[in-house]
Amino acid sequence: MKTVYDFTVRDRQGHDVSLSEYQGKVLLIVNTATGCGFTPHYEPLEAMYKDLRGKGFEILDFPSNQFANQAPGSDDEIHEFCTLKFGTEFPQFAKIDVNGESADPLFAFLASEKPFSGFGKGIKNAVLNKYAKMNNKKFGDKTYIGWNFTKFLVDREGRVISRFEPTEDMKDVRAAVEAELNK
């Protein structure tokens, strides 16, 4: 059975990193952007990281510019923004594509394990759904991620156990992470 540990990604300096380095940890894998309405998610993500990393928790941050060009900077510019504005300390990897023919294989895998099932109900979600449909039309059947700040929770064995869309309350994300850490 394939797990996230079977994938290799690139760090900000362009070096290969095997995700097997994170074996035995609970992971939250996130595609991010610095100019998105959900960019403030960095704050609760960093708080969760500071509180829980000592218990075997890691956040893996993958910037992507595929959603309305909301992450246009270089890897260094994105990293500088995140560390200066939000004090992020969790690992941030090289900017990637998460949809289409050039989608990083990790995100194709994550989405195949936990496919998109909608942004939820309410006006905010309906508006996001409209923009996401327009943006993602070009990716067709290779649309794996609906929008920035989609989060995948991975257990200590490397299995994808939950998917959280950006519209989900960060308190619910944290509760799921804490429940997994307490198993």
Residue 107 falls in which region: left (phi positive, over 0), alpha (psi -120 to 50) or beta? alpha
CA dihedral 31, 32, 37, 40 (to 10 degrees): 120
d(CA 108, CA 138): 16
Asked whether 90 and 45 are in contact (CB, 8 A), the reply is yes
Q: CA 65, 28, 149: angle at the middle one, nearest 5?
A: 30
What token pair was written down for 120? 């939820």
Please list, in sequence order, all residues whose beta carbon lies within 8 angstroms of the beta carbon of residue 139, skipping any fewer than 6 positions away: 99, 100
107-134 core/surface letters (b: 16 or more CB in 10 A; e: else): bbbbbebeebeebeeeeebeebbeebee
Residue positions annotated with a catalytic role: 36
